Amino acid sequence: MQTTVDEVKKLLEKGTAPKEAILVLKEKGFSQEDIHEALQQVDVKSHRVGARIGVKELFDKVGFGFGSQQFVNIALSTMGASLLAIGLLNGMKVFFSQIFATLMNMWSKKDERLLSFSAILLGANFFLLGYAVFIHSMALFTLSILISSLSVVTYGDAYKHLVKSMSRVRFLEILMRYGIFLTVLVMLVAAHLLDIIKLPFGFYIVFAAAGTCFVFSALVALPLLQGKNDNATVPNSFSLLKDSSYFIKDKVLLVLTIAATITAALNTLGNAYYGIFIFENLGKKGFGGFLNVSIVFGLGLLVAFLVPKVTSRSSQAYGKFPMLLFGTLLMAMMPLSFYHNPNIVSVSIGTIIGIIGAGMVGTAQGLVALDSLKDDERVRFFNFLGAATVIAYLILIPLGSLLAYWYGMTFLFLLLVLALCLLVAPLYLLIVFLYGRKEPI
């Protein structure tokens, strides 16, 4: 009977319809009674697993709403941290997150439960974050920020495959597709709580809610992850060095890497200050301090939900190179809206346009890699790109944070606009020139 169940599971995971699976198994000699019994067993188990995944995803969506990075940055600002410290802490968080994510992708091949334990650490860290704000401890807050960089809420290829195989469970399908709306709704609720509850107690409540959600999410997911896998091989860390020399020799990929890493660092710099700027300069207008922040970035999240459809149509209509240039210019509209005559309407529109531009650039970068590299080479290239981004963070984040500290956030926003238009955009023009010459890959 176990053999029949295994055969049914294999066929269904490949996307075979139940009726077709019955015919296939009959041809293999399985009895109709065993096939139907196996289908019932698999269906019941699938719905149970699907329900568990759905609960986990529900906790994640709610947790991300309560634990918005913009709320964390504003909390840091209200505690008296300088713009230099805020920028450096955001850069350090992304820097260590990138390194730790790479290591986790390797170590989790040996034991996937590490991923769930890491998510528990993220949840526990939010409790620490809220407590640090509550007692006004900058040292503890800094420690919690660094600990959060060692926490991930991704569960590896095995979990992604499991989610995909369970996609026919209706509740999970709806949550995976429209869960972003729940996150935005929770962001609005959290912002309202922060506006009506006296600080810093409001931060403690909101961050504790985020921590609770992430801890429960990890505990729900833990039984779905495999334990130790002694047969799994951990990739050699030194292979990244070999890949680096290979990709650097290709001029198109080298310029693409430089442009992409600069863009990532500029986005990190901007995101460190956008929410604080809205809270401090536009907080007494519109809906109020935190609610204004959540509305602007909530609209951005909703637009991000539609970006894949927009970018896919744009790539078909205009091609990848116009998307690289036009998308970069659209990205510059976000810091421009914060620099020139900022108000809630203009900043919201600028954020929407900027997110659309970022989606276009990301899609175009993927298309360039698709045309230039084979399947296995693309995976190695994006791993190399992640490592190269760390170098850009080490240079640009401290520099940008220092300029924000000396001259203010408005000056930094102007620099972001100029960097995107006068530095990144010309690099993409150079890619067009190099690609036209058909440099050897």
- CA–CA separation, 152 vs 102, rounded Å? 11
Query: If you search the block for the tokens 């890491």, which residue do you land on?
Result: 118
What SS3 class is residue 208? helix
Please tell me the pTM assigned to this model.
0.84
Question: Does residue 405 sit within a domain?
Answer: yes
Residues 115-162 pLDDT 10s: 667 778 888 889 999 999 989 999 999 888 888 777 654 555 555 655
- Inside any domain, residue 411: yes
Lowest mean pLDDT among 5-14, 203-212, 298-307, 428-437: 5-14
Tell me, yes or no, whether 352 lies in a domain. Answer: yes
Q: What's residue 17's pLDDT?
A: 55
**Is a pLDDT exceeding 50 seen at residue 439?**
no
Classify residue 218: in a domain, yes or no: no
Q: What is the mean pLDDT of residues 208-221?
A: 89
Q: Does residue 242 form part of some domain?
A: yes
13-27, 288-302, 376-390: segment of lowest average pLDDT: 13-27
Per the CB < 8 A criterion, the answer to whether 115 and 229 are in contact is no
- Between the alpha carbon of residue 247 and those of residues 227, 383, 425, the distances in Å are 35, 11, 21
Tokens of 181: 């709306």
User: Is residue 100 one of the residues assigned to a domain?
Assistant: no
Answer yes or no: is pLDDT of 42 > 60: no
Residue 405 structural domain: 238-441
| Domain assignment of residue 26, yes or no | no
Cα separation, 288 vs 285, whole angstroms: 6
Is residue 37 in a domain?
Answer: no
Give bridge partners of residue 228 from the DSSP assignment.
111
pLDDT of residue 22: 64
SS (H, E, C) 202-225: HHHHHHHHHHHHHHHHHHHHHHHC
Residue 405 has pLDDT above 70, yes or no: yes
CATH number assigned to the domain comprising residue 247: 1.20.1250.20
DSSP designation for 236: P
Q: Is the peptide bond before 200 cis (omega within 30 degrees of 0)?
A: yes
pLDDT band at 334 (very low <50, low <70, confident <90, very high): very high
Q: Grade residue 219 by pLDDT with cuts at 50, 70 and 90.
A: confident
Report pLDDT for 19.
59
Domain total for the chain? 1
Backbone angles phi, psi at 228, to 5 degrees: -70, 140
How many helices (H) and strands (E) in the chain? Answer: 18, 0
pLDDT > 90? residue 74: yes
293 pLDDT higher than 80: yes
Kindly tell me if the per-residue pLDDT of 244 is higher than 70: no
- The rounded distance, in Å, linking the Cα atoms of 217 and 163 is 14
CA distance 318 to 323: 7
